[in-house]
Structure 1
Amino acid sequence: NKPLTAPSVLELAHHVAGCNYENQTKWGSKIGFRYGSLVEDYYTGYRMKCEGWRSIFCYPETAAFLGDVPFNLLDVLSQNKRWAIGLLEVAFSRYSTITFGVKSMGLFMGLGYSYYAFWAILTIPITTYCLVPQLALLNELSIFPKVSDPWFLLYMFLFLGAYGQDLLEFMVDGGTIQRWWSDQRMWIMRGLSSYAFGLTEFVVKSIGIPTEGFNVTSKIINDEESKRYEQGVFEFGVPSPLFVTLTMAAIINLLSFISGLVHFIVDGGSNKEGLVMQLVLTGLIVMNCLPVYQAIALRSDKGKMHTKTTVTATLLASAVYVVASLFLK
C-alpha cells in the first residue's frame, strides 16, 4: 500500500536491481537457471537430470517453444562459438558428463550429454577432413587406397554410408534435400570457425589468459539482409576472424581440386588411381564452399566477402601450403 516513491520501496528496488538478494540463497544452484556456464539452459537441464528429475519428449505437430534466432551468418557462428565454450566449461567442471553425469544418470544418458559437452572438439576431425587430404593432393601424394585395392570399397562405404545415413534421418523427420545440404554446409562452417575458436578460447581462458568475454547475439536484421536471407544467401560483409579460417580452407580446397583434376586428366602415371578418393572428397567440399567463392568473386552487394578477409585468408592459405609441402615432399 506504499507509494512507489516511498524510501522503503526504493530501497527494495535497488536491492533487487543489484542482485545482492541472491547472496546466501539457492538462486543459481537449486532455484532458477544454474550458474557456472555460458550454456545455462543445457547446464540447468543436465543438473536437474542428475538430481533425479524425469523428462518427457514433447514434440507437437503445431510448432511450439518458438523463439528468435540470429539471421546473420556471423551472428550464428558467434553464437555457436559461445555455446562451444559453455559446453566445454561443463565438460571439464566438477560436474563433467563423463564422470559425474555417468555416475548420476547411467552410461548411455551420460554419453548422450557428453556428445554435446565435447561438441567443440569436433573441430579437430573436421579441420583434418577439410585440409589434410587436400594438401596431400596438391603435393600429388596419395593417402587413400587405390581404386583397384579392395580396401577402397571400405573407405567408399564409410564415406557414402555416413552421408546417406544423415540424409535418411533428415528425410524421415520431414526434412528436405535442400535443408540437408544447408546443414552440411553449416556443419563445415561451424567446424572450421566456431568450434575452432571456441576450443582455442576455452584453452586460453583455462590457463589464466583473459579473453574477450561474453558477446550478446544480435537478432536484428535490416531490409536488405532480410531479402538476402529469404533468398538463402549468406552474409559475409563484416570482416571477422571467424570468416578467415573458413575462407582459407575454401581457397585450399579449390586450388587442390583444380590441381588434382588437371593431374588426373593429363598425367597417366601409376599414382592416378590413388588420388580418386581425395579428388572426390575435395570436390564435395568445394561444392559446400560455393557460397564462399560467390561472396569473394561474384557478388557486389553489401554481403560480399570483405577484401581484408580475402587477403588475410589467401596469405594464410599460402603459408599453410608452404609448411605442409615441407613435410609432404
Structure 2
Amino acid sequence: MTEDRMPAGKLIRPLIALACLLWFALPVPAASKKGAKRTLAFAAEMAQVGSWHEATFRWNSVLSQDGDNAHLHNNLAVAAEALGNWDEAAAYYKQALKLETDNFHIQENQRRFLIFLERLRRHADGEETAPERLVTVSGGGAKRKGKTFQVTVGLPMPPRLKLEGDESILIIDFLADETRFLDINREMVRFLRSAFRNRTAHEILDIVPPPAVPEQTIEDLLANTEFWKHLHREYGADLIVSGVLGFDREDISGYRDVDVVSPTTGQKVRQTRFVEQERFSYHIEVFFIDGKTGKLLYRDKLQRSAIIRGTQNDPITTFFDLSDTISAEVLAIVTTQIRSDTRRVFKY
C-alpha cells in the first residue's frame, strides 16, 4: 500500500505566503522610523531653502510607507504649488483635508491656494486682480495641529500675451499732455526701453528719436493699422508699444491737523498748522500692437499718485518713482512674473 505524499513545491509555497503575511503584520522597526524622521528633517531643510524637487522626492519616499499621513499630503501640495503644478496641488490639498478635515494649517494653505487660482483666472481673462473674492474651504472647528514652519513660495503668473519669446519690441512716443517741468514722453520711452531690456529676453529696438504718433484720437489711432504696419516694415518691429500718458503736479498746501511733541511735557499733541505739500498724479494707458497686422493685442490703464511734503520737490525723481510702481504690471503683459506668498509646511 503506497503512502500519499504532498509534493514539496505545493508545501513550500503556502509557507512562504504565510511568512510574508507575518512579516508585514509586524510593527515597523524602530530603525525604519528613525530613518523616516531623518528623511523628513532633510526634506524640511530643502523646503526652507526652496529646493522643492528634492523636498518632493523625500516626502514621496516617506508617503509610500505612510499613505494616510495628511501632513505629507499638505507638504506635497505646497511643493506642487511652488513648481507650478496646480492640478497636483489641488489633489494633494483635497486628500490632506480628507484625512484631517479640522486642521487649520491645511485649511489655510488651501484657502490661500484657491485665492491664487482665482487671481490666476482673472489675470488670464484680463480682469482686475483685486479685490479678491471671498474663498472658503470645507471643515469647521479648525485646530492648529502639528508642528509647522512658514515658507515663502514663488508662484509663477504667466504673461497675458503669449509670445514666442524672440520678438523685437519697438517703444514709440505716447499721446501725452505737455508739462512745463518735464518731457514725460522722452522719459517714459527711456524708462520702458530700459525695463524691457533688463527684464525680458526680447530684442528692444533702440530707435532715436522714437517714432512719433499721429495726432489722432485714441480710437482712431488704434484703428490706424497702416501706421502700425509701416513701423513694422520700416524697423522690423514685431510688437509695438505706445499709449496715452499724463503727469501732473498740484500744490495742495493748507492747514492740517498734525501730531507734534510738546516741548514741555514730551507728549504727543494735535495742533492745526500750515503744511506745504504737493500732489503728483500719474496715469498711463499702454497699448501693445501686432506690427505685422497693425491690430491691437492688449491695452491696460494704470494710475498712481503721491503726496510729498514741501513745494520744491524734484518732478523727475517723483516721475521715475511712480513709474517703478507700474513697471511690474506692464512687464507682466509679456513676461512671467513671480508672485510671492506664504504657506505652512509640517516638520513631520
TM-score computed with the length of structure 2 as normaliser: 0.23
More helix by share: 1
TM-score of the pair, normalised by structure 1: 0.24
**Greater per-residue strand proportion:** 2
| Structure having the higher Rg | 2
Using CA pairs under 8 Å that are at least 6 residues apart, name the structure with larger relative contact order, 1 or 2. Answer: 1
